[in-house]
């Protein structure tokens, strides 16, 4: 039985993840953390600070907020517990902290936990190699409560393109009278509205033809399922920084 501690139980994804773990007979939800909550819900212990946790686990799955990073890393490092990082919106300093932690414990990091998105990234890289001279644009759409823009997934797609075309420059949206597209430019655009779970398009526009690679998330459950798959993969790994490519053997 794989014991899991989750963070972000005060948010929608935290609740969805907890339910997904409970439904998997091979998993046990050891406890959860949630900002501003310290109580017990049925048999589930809820902590508002991970330093208070007394339960042990095989892995921690983080679906919370970048401001919780120090608290989460402190627990994971002190207890030598593998960590799945599913939170997005980290700055350079915070990303460096995650990388440093991976030298001590196994850390799984992905901007998007949906398996389909990571297959999309593979297709985008292949299209970038093959469609030379095509203009490339990345468009992401999310609900009106998402705080970071562009999404971590849009950044991941753009960085995947840059792995193939190292001289590209990113343009975040366009406006004004002098916004003509440059040859080595990749445009990244964010749309916010309603209850859109998540949509990502990689658009390849050539002479008289357009190819669009699209991933559409219809439920947040796909992110929970992906993070659980990552947790099952991670517990058998040595210290290091892992991602979906490692898990899917891409």
Any known ligand binding at 49? no
Give the distance, in angstroms, between the CA of residue 58 and the centroid of all CA atoms in the same chain: 21
- Give the C-alpha separation, 158 to 124, whole Å: 9
- Give the C-alpha separation, 86 to 40, whole Å: 25
> Is 189 part of the annotated catalytic residue set?
no
Any known ligand binding at 214? no
Any known ligand binding at 36? no
Any known ligand binding at 90? no
> Is 142 part of the annotated catalytic residue set?
yes
Structure tokens at 208: 């008289």
Any known ligand binding at 9? yes
- Give the C-alpha separation, 17 to 221, whole Å: 7
From the candidates 97, 122, 146, 162, which is the catalytic residue?
146
Any known ligand binding at 156? no
Q: Where are the alpha helices (DSSP H) in the chain?
A: 12-23, 69-79, 92-101, 115-130, 152-164, 221-234, 244-248
Any known ligand binding at 111? yes
Any known ligand binding at 120? no
Dihedrals φ, ψ of 235, to 5°? -65, -20
Any known ligand binding at 88? yes
Any known ligand binding at 160? no
- Give the C-alpha separation, 76 to 17, whole Å: 19
From the candidates 142, 189, 200, 215, which is the catalytic residue?
142
- Give the C-alpha separation, 124 to 201, whole Å: 10
Known binding residues for NADP(+)? 35
Known binding residues? 8-13, 35, 86-88, 110-113, 143, 152-153
Known binding residues for NAD(+)? 8-13, 86-88, 110-113
Residues designated catalytic: 142, 146
Known binding residues for (S)-2,3,4,5-tetrahydrodipicolinate? 143, 152-153
């Amino acid at each position: 039985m794989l014991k899991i501690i989750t963070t972000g139980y005060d948010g929608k994804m935290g609740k969805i993840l907890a339910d997904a773990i409970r439904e998997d007979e091979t998993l046990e939800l050891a406890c959860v953390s949630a900002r501003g909550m310290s109580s017990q819900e049925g048999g589930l212990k809820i902590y508002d600070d991970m330093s208070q946790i007394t339960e042990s686990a095989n892995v921690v799955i983080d679906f919370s907020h970048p401001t919780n990073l120090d608290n989460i890393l402190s627990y994971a490092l002190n207890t030598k517990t593998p960590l799945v990082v599913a939170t997005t919106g980290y700055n350079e300093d915070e990303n460096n902290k995650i990388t440093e932690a991976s030298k001590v414990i196994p850390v799984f990091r992905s901007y998007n936990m949906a398996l389909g998105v990571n297959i999309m990234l593979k297709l985008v890289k292949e299209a970038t190699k093959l469609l030379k001279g095509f203009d490339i644009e990345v468009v992401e759409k999310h609900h009106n409560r998402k705080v970071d823009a562009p999404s971590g997934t849009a950044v991941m797609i753009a960085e995947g393109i840059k792995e193939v075309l190292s001289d590209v420059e990113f343009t975040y949206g366009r406006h004004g009278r002098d916004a003509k597209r440059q040859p080595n430019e990749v445009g990244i655009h964010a749309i916010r509205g309603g209850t859109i779970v998540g949509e990502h398009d990689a658009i390849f526009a050539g002479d008289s033809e357009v190819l669009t690679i699209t991933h559409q998330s219809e439920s947040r459950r796909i992110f929970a399922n992906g993070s659980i798959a990552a947790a099952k993969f991670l517990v058998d790994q040595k210290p290091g920084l892992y991602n979906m490519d490692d898990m899917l053997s891409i």
